[in-house]
Structure 1
Amino acid sequence: MSQLELRSRIPPRPTWGHGFSACVTAARMGMNLGKDRIDLFSWISTNVAAPLPTGKAIVEEVKIKSRDDLVLEFMTQEQASVGVTAEWIQDARLSNPPEKPADRVVLYIHGGAYFLASRKTHRNLTWRASKHSKARVLSVDYRLAPKHVYPLALHDVLSAYSYLINGSEAHSIGKDKKFLKYHRYHPSQIVIAGDSAGGGLAFSLLMYIRDHLDEFPMPAGIIGLAPWLDLTHSMPSFLDNGIYDYLPGRTNDKKYINSDRSFPYVANNSFLPYKYVSPLYAKESDGPPICPVLIQVGSAERLRDEGIYFAMQRFKNSDCRLEMYQDMIHIFQMFMPSKYISGVALRRFGQFVQDVTGHEAFVVDERAVLVLNTPPYRVVPLPKALMFVEQGLRRRGQTVADIEEKLNEVSYPTFECC
């Protein structure tokens, strides 16, 4: 057996079948092959389009005008004027025809470690998000690393959000025009969502909105599917769950990574603890209340603790709901058929979207729940969710107080872009 195969073998979790274990092992082997070849891995992943069931989804690609009047710190005027490619996607069975305004919209931000994937790779997920949310989805292609570093991706999703709330300029890509292009949606009709790095970018967008409410209104809600909230990897599950998850450790592609730059998404490591890069560093007390939050994590995934810590500690006084899925790996919602536990997650995703965009005030009933990975997939209270993080910290001789001290340190990036 090769060294790669040995590194890729994953001990099964109690509820995994042989087929699921084999799929996770295969996914890990693929990720290990590509993690240190950023250019090749990025090219392959961005040129893949996920298939959609025939006749069940309506899709149209659009080009959105960038907010060229909004030049974020660490970017140039030229970088603020390039336009944003996106697509409208809607379940074909929704009652709202695409040429009419939608009742609600999900602004979806795809994952991929900030240098992989696209709106096309995530179509099966965004279509099902539309189906279960009874919403129209705007799925965004933001600028990817390593060619484009922070804050260009944040600027792209700010432009997409502005497009929704202002009805700003957009045009179809191609001749087949299906969707209404110009409509001002009220923020109460919009939910921001994303997975993995896209989930982290969604929360970066949320923090920017919170800090600039004079320019951007708060949306109705936000959903993070295993959001990557901490690029400094402060949380113990990143190491502890490495034996189960298919996600690899950090990339070591020497073309882009060195002692001063640990991730291709940033120009240098001074950006890593910045709240618009690692939203776990944002303080609840630093601004007005945020919108309702739904975070879904798998109990066996590397990014589990970041979601727990955000909901149960950093923003413990906000309307956050944490859902942990037993023995699940990173973004299981994207890879598993809906007849399994992923269907429960997507239905709860959809219900959250409908609840926060409804006419009644949203109320978080149980702050944290565990969804069991055996039929009928019961949902049980998880009142002490933070203990998963605390146990991992204790194994390292750390406490929550130590992590809070680190996260509360005032840090600001140092970089001259122009």
Structure 2
Amino acid sequence: MTSTTNDHYLPRGAFGAGSRRTRLAALMTRLTLRPMTNLLPTSRSGIEFSRRLVATSMNLFGPVPKGTRVDIVGDGPVRGEWVRAPGLTPGPRVILYIHGSAYVICSARTHRGLTARLSSATGLPVFTVDYRLAPEHPFPAAADDLESAYRWLLGQGYTAANIVIAGDSAGGHLAADLLIENDRTGTPQPGAMVLFSPLIDLDFELSARMERTRKDPMISAKAARGLVALYTEGHDADLPRLRLDLALARDLPPTLIQVGGAEMLRGDARRMHAMIDGAGGRSELEIWPDQMHVFQALPRLIPEAGHALEHAAEFIAHALDNPVVQHDSKEKVSR
């Protein structure tokens, strides 16, 4: 089903709505979490509190399934962890996951529940890169760590066509940067890409526009901009590796973008979708009504989380099984 440009005005009866639990979770988050995140300072103590708060929330509402195998990796500049669903057998395909949270807050461990469920849904092992965080490690530390991890996987014997890039939030910006750098250096591009609530505009101007019509339940554009600034501080906002333009890159992988209809990054999702289309790539944009930021990570709160991962798994399987590049672009709103 094709959407109009103003997804937040879509008729509920025609396109479906989030479940009652989803809408209640968004309301409670807006009343409790949003005031806190908007007031927390970007001082060291404020950041540490934010890190503990998010880690606790992710573990509570998206715990790691029993039987998940986790292997920590530290190989030179490459840090991260392998996450494998129970009973997973080795194969030639792999997912490289890039966690989000403004370059400042999360880690491979906070996202272990999400990557474990992604491994289970796809039947693929997931390597989550544990990139260095700001403010301790500002730009381009995170981008460099991701590039090292991608080349490390190639060195481990995985072909680029069998690598899936997946990520959320700031991980979307890092993924786009990786594709541009691959094009610049002549490194083969991955076989597919799946992004959850990707961030592309580090100035948060797109988010501010979205907030004029619907406030994000989790955080304001202003507060999120303050966190990201800890990563970009001291650099020109127009630096090509910060203000990314995917339309300049070639051979982009088929991409699935999922974003919540209640979150401010739906403007960023549309921008990334349009850039991939402009570069001649194939992109599918799913706008999930009433959903919050990276709702896929919160299955205990959000009934639709599992359905979204199933969609992602289907997309990945189809993209890897049908590697011929198709120069078209699709946008749809999912129920």
- Which TM-score tier does this pair reach, normalised by the shorter chain? 0.7 to 0.9
Structure 2 CA distance, aligned partners of 1:354 and 1:23?
34
Q: CA deviation at 1:186?
A: 0.7
SS in 2 for 1:165: helix
* Aligned residue in 1 for 2:181: 208
* Aligned residue in 2 for 1:93: 87
Query: 5+ unaligned residues in a row in structure 2: which ranges?
Result: 1-11
Percent of paired sites with the same residue: 29
* Aligned residue in 1 for 2:65: 53
The answer to whether residue 267 in structure 2 is matched with residue 305 in structure 1 is yes
Q: CA deviation at 1:43?
A: 2.5
SS in 2 for 1:264: helix
Answer yes or no: is the 8 Å Cα contact 1:262–1:268 preserved in 2: no
One of 186, 190, 194 as aligned partner of 2:159: 186
The answer to whether residue 170 in structure 2 is matched with residue 197 in structure 1 is yes
SS in 2 for 1:250: helix
Q: 1:329 to 1:123 in 2, by over 3 A?
A: same
Structure 1 CA distance, aligned partners of 2:314 and 2:191?
13
Q: CA deviation at 1:141?
A: 1.1
Answer yes or no: is the 8 Å Cα contact 2:29–2:218 preserved in 1: no
Matched letter for residue 275 of structure 1: P
Structure 2 CA distance, aligned partners of 1:262 and 1:332?
21
Q: CA deviation at 1:305?
A: 0.9
* Aligned residue in 2 for 1:351: 314
One of 215, 226, 238 as aligned partner of 1:273: 238
Q: 1:338 to 1:327 in 2, by over 3 A?
A: closer
Q: CA deviation at 1:153?
A: 0.8
For normalisation by structure 2, the TM-score amounts to: 0.82
Q: CA deviation at 1:147?
A: 1.7
Aligned residue runs from structure 1 range 248-287, under 5 A:
248-251=220-223, 263-270=229-236, 272-279=237-244, 282-284=245-247, 286-287=248-249
SS in 1 for 2:251: coil
SS in 2 for 1:296: strand
Structure 2 CA distance, aligned partners of 1:262 and 1:226?
16
* Aligned residue in 1 for 2:31: 25
Structure 2 CA distance, aligned partners of 1:191 and 1:159?
16
Q: CA deviation at 1:344?
A: 1.8
Matched letter for residue 352 of structure 1: F
Aligned residue runs from structure 1 range 235-384, under 5 A:
235=206, 237-240=209-212, 243-251=215-223, 263-270=229-236, 272-279=237-244, 282-284=245-247, 286-312=248-274, 315-316=277-278, 317-337=280-300, 340-358=303-321, 361=324, 367-372=330-335
Point out the structure with max Rg over C-alpha. 1
Larger helix percent: 2
Q: CA deviation at 1:138?
A: 0.3
Q: CA deviation at 1:129?
A: 0.9
Structure 2 CA distance, aligned partners of 1:240 and 1:201?
27
One of 62, 68, 81 as aligned partner of 2:73: 62
Structure 2 CA distance, aligned partners of 1:142 and 1:355?
29
For normalisation by structure 1, the TM-score amounts to: 0.67
Q: 1:356 to 1:28 in 2, by over 3 A?
A: same
Q: CA deviation at 1:364?
A: 7.9
Answer yes or no: is the 8 Å Cα contact 2:180–2:249 preserved in 1: no
Answer yes or no: is the 8 Å Cα contact 1:200–1:229 preserved in 2: yes
Structure 1 CA distance, aligned partners of 2:79 and 2:43?
22
Query: 5+ unaligned residues in a row in structure 1: which ranges?
Result: 1-12, 67-83, 168-183, 373-418
Which structure has more relative contact order (CA 8 Å, sep 6+)? It is 2
Q: 1:242 to 1:249 in 2, by over 3 A?
A: farther
Matched letter for residue 303 of structure 1: L
Q: CA deviation at 1:251?
A: 3.6
Q: 1:103 to 1:25 in 2, by over 3 A?
A: farther
One of 188, 210, 213 as aligned partner of 1:217: 188
Answer yes or no: is the 8 Å Cα contact 1:193–1:222 preserved in 2: yes
